[in-house]
Chain A
Amino acid sequence: MHEIDLLLNGARTLIDQPMALLLALIGVALGIVIGALPGLTATMGVAILLPFTFGMDPLSGLLMISGVFFGGIYGGSIPAILLKIPGTPAAAATAIDGYELTKQGKAGIALGTATLSSFLGGLLSVIVLIFMARILAGFALEFSASESFALAVFGLTIIASISGASPIKGLIAGFAGLLLATVGLDPMGGFPRFTAGYTELFTVPFIPVMIGLFAAAEAFKSMEEPEVRGALKTALGRIIPPWSAFRGVIVTILRSSGLGILIGIIPGAGADIAAYVAYNETKRFSKAPQNFGKGELSAVAACESGANGCTGGALLTMLTLGIPGDAVTAVMLGALTLQGLQPGPLLFQDHADLVFTLFAGMIFCYVAMLFMGFASLRFMGRILQMPKSVLTPVILALCIVGTYAINNSMFDIGIMLAAGVVGYFMQKWDFPASPVVLALIMGPMAEASLRRALSLSNGSYDFLYTRPITVVLLSAAALSLLVPLLRGLRKSGGGTAEPPLNATPGRGH
């Protein structure tokens, strides 16, 4: 194995560079904080840090950026689990079951599982990146508009599985999200739709809406509770999950990491989509799908390993083809170029030593993230002991600061607060918020991809059945919609057929 030699060489070079290792550690720590704060995402963290790395040597600069990237994806899960405030869009999926676990007093195990799953997902993705980069690189290029459309349709069917108690309310929320997603510039024509003359609405302010629906709504809700002086009535509990619990999620982590890696490779699809798809597939393969949404540990594991699995996948496309797999790697592409490393087919030939040293450093980043995560969880868990009279204003202040930080825009704060009020009433009337977020991610992707695909084929719909990946994804979408429906029909069909059989002659037996 040629790669193993290169990697060992890389590790040896890395050990001689304590400064690079230190900067990587700082990057991971910064990333976790950035990810944990609502509004500040991994993309933003990388973009802000980028100018500071200009003066560093390529290895230090790129490792620090990778650290922020990895830490930022993981960090979002901490407030999602503790407070139901997703720090990043991907963590919105983690919040569904993570916060339920916190309410049951299992916050520690949920956080521990999230940390371990993020680590394993990320590590696996880096390993795939090291050994299978060339083999998988072509997969990204197979993805055209029609495949993206099929992926988005498949993603939209996930609404059914994250709707919680009432599928009807979930669908209503999902369709409301789809309607919201039509606001903005028309993806093909370029003219504004439903923007009321506000240039700020040219793109749907997705993150402000998410922060409002989750975090601000939660803060408004806690204002109406009378016991403001009391803390959340839950303890952190143990952090490292017991082997008996962890054994049950290993398969989930492996499957979700794999899905995360593949979704990461696809251009234009990132950690948020990976987390939702991983959640959906875990529920599909679960022996107890009814537990999802009520505090299922494997759901947390799935979302986190899926989201972090994305990191290696996105890096793979960026490094081997020079095309970014998601928003974060788009910024990293600039970082590499500025360091004089031209990402693309020639990178592995011209700079193999540096690339493999970087890979060794990425593994180091993930190991560091595991230890830092576990070390900080006790401290983070203190949040649960904070009285609500302190916590609620702090959360609202963070929502506002975080929202402003995205675009330096007061307009976004208004959107966030409005979404918070809507989210408050949605909670009161049991409408789930995650379908809205999912629809806002998938809706624009589905619309733009379908219309682009039609434009590519000169208006012919043939791409729906002539392209293999499209067919597979659309069939999967149809299945995930039809199977629960058929199951429900069989159940209700059986339900009406059985009682008469047992009722009349059965009495005698």
Chain B
Amino acid sequence: MSAYRFVTRVCAGALVSAGLWAGAAQAAEYPTKQIELIVPYAAGGGTDLVARAFADAANRHLPKAIGVVNKTGGGGAVGLSEIMAARPDGYKIGMGTVEITMLPHLGVARFSVGDFTPIARLNAEPAAITVNADSPIKTIDEFLANAKANPGTVRVGNSGTGAIWHLAAEALGEQTGIKFNHIPYDGANPAVTALLGGHIEAVGVSPAEVFSQVAAGKLRILAVMADERSKTFPDVPTLKEKGIDVSIATWRGIVVPKRTPEPIVAALREASRDAANEQSFKDQLAKMNLTHAYADGPEFKAVMEKDDAFFKTLMTQVGLAK
């Protein structure tokens, strides 16, 4: 009987160690087949283009190619859930976005920020306050004074309720005690269109999304919600300079499911760093007016956790949290 047990234990032990060894060998050779990069948004959009530019650059640093797969729906929830639920073997990685830290609090996602291991942040865009160039309001101080004097009448367009630019405007309102009339649109583009047509007073979208209109003199950026001034618009002040501590940005970066083995995470981090520093990748982002904002895994993790806590508080305050 005891001999039988012994044999069983030996067998089990052998299997486990073989499995571990195989796992280690797998990691050492990683990747041995094509890697799938899940993008939770539609082909042709900003997140998709960043992902494709990254895949092109990364293919020069990995023995196997990265293929982009778009899994859209649920404002990103479908694709992000798929990344979370993927087998943690490094062959299905994902393009994580700031929505990882927002959707769980809206009560529409099965994942939370802890379900992902961050690999590298690639891009980040701050929120900004932009008005029509015909508007009599020239500075952010005037804008805030006017909004304070007329509570609930200043209409600020955003890219959808609970989306990043809505929360940016809400955060500004919370910090300054001003009541805005938030108007959700189906994405940032329609909101900018409404601002151009004079149907709303301001938008809270990123400078990249209003770049061409600002360059043409149709719109005016009053302030960016970032720690530092934008390199594209160095004349535009930050809210911090005006004594308002609001700094909100959207970001995009590579994430993997949380139980991915450490050697694979290390291999991906190295490849991502090399890819993100490729000149071709930087050029591609610059062409799209996007900001290159590489951050390695641990640093990226800190950003994610900070945002997660921030959005949880903010969404509870404004009544969006479930």
Interface residues of A (CB under 8 A from B): 43-44, 46-48, 50-51, 54, 140-145, 185-192, 199-200, 202-203, 267-268, 321-324, 330-331, 333-334, 337-340, 342-346, 407-409, 448, 452, 455-456, 458
How far in angstroms is the closest Cβ of chain B from A316?
14
* B193 touches A (CB below 8 Å): yes
Cβ distance B208 to chain A, nearest Cβ, rounded Å:
10
Interface positions, chain B 35-61, Cβ under 8 Å from A, are: 42-46, 48-49, 52
Contact call B161/A330, Cβ cutoff below 8 A? no
In the bound complex, do residue A322 and residue B44 qualify as a contact, i.e. CB atoms below 8 Å apart? no
Query: Could you tell me the distance between the alpha carbons of A409 and B42 in the complex, rounded to whole angstroms?
Result: 13
Residue from B74, B153, B185 within 8 A of A452 (CB atoms): B185
B23 touches A (CB below 8 Å): no
B289 in the interface (beta carbon within 8 A): yes
Give, as a whole number of angstroms, the nearest-CB distance from B288 to chain A.
6
Given A141-B196, A458-B152, 15 extra CB contacts under 8 A: A48-B43, A144-B197, A188-B184, A189-B161, A190-B320, A202-B74, A267-B190, A268-B186, A322-B212, A323-B189, A345-B216, A346-B215, A407-B72, A452-B183, A456-B183
A407 near B71 with CB under 8 A, answer yes
Please name the residue on chain B nearest to A328 by beta carbon: B44
B192 near A455 with CB under 8 A, answer no
User: Is B69 among interface residues, defined by CB-CB distance under 8 A?
Assistant: yes
Instruction: Verify A190–B181 contact, CB threshold 8 A.
Output: no
Question: Given the interface contacts A323-B189, A330-B189, A345-B216, does A199 sit within 8 Å of B288 by beta carbon?
Answer: no
Given contacts A143-B197, A188-B161, A455-B181, are A409 and B43 in contact (CB under 8 A)?
Answer: no
For A140, A330, A339, which residue has the most chain B Cβ atoms within 10 angstroms? A330
Stretch of B75-83, B118-126, B141-149, B236-244 lying at the A interface: B75-83
Give the contacts of B178-203 with A (CB-CB under 8 A). 181, 183-186, 189-190, 192-194, 196-200
Question: Are B78 and A199 neighbours in the complex by a CB distance under 8 Å?
Answer: yes
Closest to B152 in A: A458
- Cβ-defined partner of A344 (8 Å) among B184, B199, B216: B216
Query: Can you show 29 pairs from A to B with CB atoms below 8 A apart?
Result: A47-B42, A141-B193, A141-B196, A142-B197, A186-B161, A190-B160, A190-B162, A199-B74, A199-B110, A202-B73, A202-B75, A322-B212, A323-B189, A331-B44, A331-B45, A334-B46, A337-B212, A337-B289, A338-B287, A340-B287, A343-B212, A344-B215, A407-B73, A407-B78, A409-B71, A452-B184, A455-B181, A456-B199, A458-B152
Query: Which of B52, B69, B77, B218 meets A345, CB within 8 Å?
Result: B218
Nearest CB in chain B to that of A445: its residue: B186
Q: How far is the CA of A200 from the CA of B194 in the complex (A)?
A: 29
Question: Is there an interface contact between A342 and B189, defined as CB atoms closer than 8 Å?
Answer: no
Query: Cβ of A200 and Cβ of B288 under 8 Å apart?
Result: no
Closest to B75 in A: A202
Interface residues of B in 136-165 (CB under 8 A from A): 152-153, 155, 160-163
Q: Is B267 an interface residue (CB 8 A)?
A: no
* Chain B residues within CB distance 8 Å of chain A: 42-46, 48-49, 52, 69-75, 77-78, 81, 106, 108-110, 152-153, 155, 160-163, 181, 183-186, 189-190, 192-194, 196-200, 211-213, 215-218, 284, 287-289, 320
Residue of A nearest to B77 (CB): A199
> Contacts A192-B108, A344-B215 hold; do A323 and B193 have CB atoms under 8 A apart?
yes
> Measured between alpha carbons, how far is A342 from B209 in the docked complex, in Å?
12
Q: From residue A146, how far is it (CB to closest CB) to chain B in Å?
A: 9
Contact call B287/A408, Cβ cutoff below 8 A: no
The reply to whether B288 and A187 contact each other, CB–CB distance below 8 Å, is no
CB neighbours of B153 from chain A (8 A): 458
Residues of A within 8 A of B288 (CB): 334, 337-338
7 nearest CB pairs, A to B: A190-B161, A331-B44, A47-B44, A47-B43, A199-B74, A141-B197, A202-B74
A residues near B185, Cβ cutoff 8 Å: 452
B155 partner residues in chain A, CB cutoff 8 A: 456
Q: Identify the closest chain B residue to A186 (Cβ).
A: B161
Separation in Å of the A165 CB from the closest CB of chain B?
Answer: 36
What separation, in Å, do the CA atoms of A202 and B213 have in the docked complex? 32
Taken together as a complex, chains A and B put the C-alpha atoms of A457 and B162 apart, in Å, by 21
Contact across chains for B69 and A408 when beta carbons are under 8 A apart: yes
Provide the bound-state CA to CA distance between A97 and B69, in Å: 38
CA distance A48 to B78 in the complex (A): 20
* Residue contact B186 to A409, C-beta cutoff 8 Å: no
Partner of A202, one of B77, B200, B215, B217: B77
Q: How far is the CA of A345 from the CA of B152 in the complex (A)?
A: 32
Contact A187:B186 (CB < 8 A) given known A344-B215, A346-B212, A456-B199:
yes
| Chain A residues within 8 Å of B160, by CB | 190
Our pick among B45, B161, B193 for the contact of A267 (Cβ within 8 Å) is B193
B197, A200: Cβ atoms under 8 Å? no
CA distance A458 to B110 in the complex (A): 35
Rounded to whole Å, the gap between the CB of A415 and the closest CB of chain B is: 12
Chain B contacts of A408 at CB under 8 A? 69-71
Which residues of chain A are within 8 angstroms of B181 by Cβ–Cβ distance?
A: 455, 458
Tell me whether A448 and B186 are in contact (CB under 8 A).
yes
Could you tell me the distance in whole angstroms from the C-beta of A79 to the nearest C-beta in chain B?
23
A345 surroundings in chain B (CB, below 8 A): 213, 216-218
* CA–CA, A140 and B106, complex, Å: 34
A203–B160 Cα distance when bound, in Å, is 13
CA distance A143 to B196 in the complex (A): 11
Chain B hits for A46, CB < 8 A: 44
Query: Chain B contacts of A321 at CB under 8 A?
Result: 193, 196
**Quick check: A203 and B73 within 8 Å, CB to CB?**
yes
Distance in angstroms from A46 CB to nearest chain B CB is 7
Bound Cα distance A144, B213 (Å): 18
| Contact, CB under 8 Å: A187 / B109 | no
CB <8 Å contact, A342 and B215: yes
- Closest residue of A by beta carbon distance from B80: A199
The CA-CA distance from A322 to B185 in the complex, in Å, is 17
- The answer to whether B45 and A145 have CB atoms under 8 Å apart is no
